[in-house]
Amino acid sequence: MILINLLPHRELARKRGRQRFNASVLASIAGGALVAGAVYLWYQGAISDQQERNALLQTEIKKLDNEIKEIASLQDEIAALKARQQAVEDLQADRNLPVHLLNEAVRQLPDGIYLKSIRQENRNVLLGGVAQSNERVSALLRNLSNRSDWVTKPELIEIVASRLALSPREQRRVYDFVVRVQLQRASDAQAASAPGPAAKPAKPAKP
């Protein structure tokens, strides 16, 4: 018996092909959607974790900023306390500066000079006196510059020639002068008067 297929087989083949194509397209879309959803969820989780880490870092940074401010305020308080302590120590040490000034005035005055006035303003002192000659004043300046631990920076402010009446008939030519010096604090004077490091003995020469 011979069987003859009278159905449109080409149309059925095309229909089955379109169905398979549509199924593959739908499967691809579904797979892509699943992959995109998984990637989106992964990125969202990563972003959330990073935001949590950022928030933790911001909290720790604020804590560190507060600690730094506290440390800075403590350092300022320590500096203020040290400054007060230094001021008290300077005041205690400077109580004897007038005594040292008078002692230096007696020690450093060369012959032929006598003082008429001593005026102190803070650490600056004006010495007013009378000298027999300009050379005597120069000697005083050298003594105050090189031989005194308590007096520094001697400076001649004024020198004027005048006459000194020794008797009704005798007068002598003298020089009125004003010298400005600066008193050193006790700590500076002690540092200046302290001996330097001892020199090392020389090595014996080799034979």
Give pLDDT tens digits for 40-74: 989 988 898 899 999 999 999 999 999 898 898 88
Q: What is the rounded distance in angstroms from the CA atom of residue 105 to the CA atom of residue 110?
A: 10
Residue scoring higher pLDDT (150 or 79):
79
pLDDT over 50 at 207, yes or no:
no
User: What is the pLDDT, as a whole number, of residue 202?
Assistant: 45
Alpha helices in the chain, H assignment, sequence order: 9-94, 97-108, 134-146, 186-193
**pTM summary value:** 0.46
32-42 pLDDT tens trace: 898 998 999 89
pLDDT over 90 at 107, yes or no:
no
Starting at the earlier edge strand, list the strands of the sheet with 171-183: 113-121, 124-131, 171-183, 151-165
- Mean pLDDT, the chain, integer: 80
Q: Phi and psi of 166, rounded to 5°? A: -85, -30
User: What is the pLDDT, as a whole number, of residue 200?
Assistant: 45
Q: Are strands 171-183 and 151-165 parallel, antiparallel or unpaired?
A: antiparallel
Residue scoring higher pLDDT (197 or 158):
158
pLDDT, mean of residues 86-91: 77
Query: CA torsion, points 18, 23, 27, 32, in degrees to nearest 10?
Result: 30
User: What is the pLDDT, as a whole number, of residue 163?
Assistant: 80
CB 125 within 8 A of CB 179: no
140-177 pLDDT tens trace: 888 888 877 777 888 888 888 888 776 777 778 888 99
Burial class (CB in 10 A: 0-12, 13-18, 19+), 129: buried
pLDDT, mean of residues 83-91: 80
Which residues touch 197 (CB under 8 Å, ≥6 apart)? none
